[in-house]
Amino acid sequence: MKIPKEMQKTYEEISRIIIEYSEKYLSEEYKELCLRALEKLCRKRPSPLQSGRSSTWAASAWS
């Protein structure tokens, strides 16, 4: 899925946190599910990811 240019930095920050956590505690399938949800949120107009902290958004992906 294509990430809009203006959301690329946010996507990279949040995905890095999700991947790191997933490798320690979650299955590969769940990691992929979280990353797909992140991609969809990045593409939404306006993206809710533009507000709040990356760590908070990453934590909400697996809670």
pTM (2 decimals)? 0.85
Per-residue pLDDT reduced to its tens digit, 2-36: 899 999 999 999 999 999 999 999 999 999 999 99
Helix (H), strand (E), coil (C) string for 22-62:
HHHHCCHHHHHHHHHHHHHHHHCCCCHHHCCCHHHHHHHHH
pLDDT band at 58 (very low <50, low <70, confident <90, very high): confident
Total number of domains constituting the chain: 1
Question: Domain range spanning residue 15?
Answer: 5-62
Give the span between the Cα atoms of 9 and 20, in whole angstroms. 17
